Amino acid sequence: MDGTPIEIPRKISQSHALAADTGFKTLPGTESPSTPIEVGERRSTAGSLALAPVIEIDKLYSAPRELQSRLVAALGLLADSINFLALARLATQKGRALEADRYAQRFEATLPALFRCRKIGDGYAVVINALHFSSINKHGQPLSLEQLTTVWRVLKELRNKPFVEFEQALEYVEELEACGLQVDPPIVSELLEELEHEQ
């Protein structure tokens, strides 16, 4: 042996190779993870687009202390209402009119409690008032599949955004009217009908 040192070739990782090509060092947190992350895992790697934890709607909104109890109650009641309407829709699609009506009545039974939470905001109150009066104006008649679907969708939107703006709430009310629900108080509805007959 002539005493000349022999260089042993080393395998360069892809991230280091890229760094060598560009002349920049690899920043901490930008290296490829050493172990693959499964899709179902709830882990996050800095600098990557890994799955983030899902935040519950109940924990997403913060409210003043005096409104917290009303907000929690409203979110729970809205969840119950959405579930009753979903079951009513399913029963209607299967031609089970009595079952659908029973679930619709259970939804209507939540409206007084939802109304008591109206101090959450003006937009919330407008939507709940409209649903309350539409229920009264039905005079016990069952909701059609279109009406069940519209109310179900509006309540899902309301639960996702309980502090809905007033203008958006009015759009929801217009959707309720468009499917044939009368959202005005009974006395106002009667006055409007009289004016229409006079014309």
d(CA 135, CA 130): 9
d(CA 164, CA 126): 10
d(CA 164, CA 121): 8
- pLDDT > 50? residue 158: yes
Burial per residue of 63-86, b for 16 or more beta-carbon CB atoms within 10 angstroms, e otherwise: eeeebeebbeebbebbbbbbebbb
Q: What pLDDT digit, counting tens, does each position of 13-62 carry? A: 444 444 444 444 444 444 444 444 444 444 444 444 445 565 555 555 55
d(CA 55, CA 67): 20
**Ramachandran angles phi, psi of 129, nearest 5°:** -60, -45
Joined tokens for residue 96: 């089970």
Assess contact for 113 and 70: CB atoms under 8 A: no
Report pTM. Answer: 0.63
How high is the pLDDT of residue 46? Answer: 46
d(CA 113, CA 41): 39
d(CA 123, CA 61): 16
Q: How confident is the model at residue 88 (pLDDT cuts 50, 70, 90)?
A: very high
Assess contact for 161 and 74: CB atoms under 8 A: no
Higher pLDDT, 23 or 82: 82
181: Cβ–Cβ under 8 A, 6 or more apart, which residues?
130, 134, 137, 138, 147, 150, 151
How high is the pLDDT of residue 140? Answer: 86
What rounded mean pLDDT belongs to the chain? Answer: 77
Q: What pLDDT digit, counting tens, does each position of 117-157 carry? A: 998 999 999 999 999 999 999 988 999 999 999 999 999 99
d(CA 80, CA 82): 6
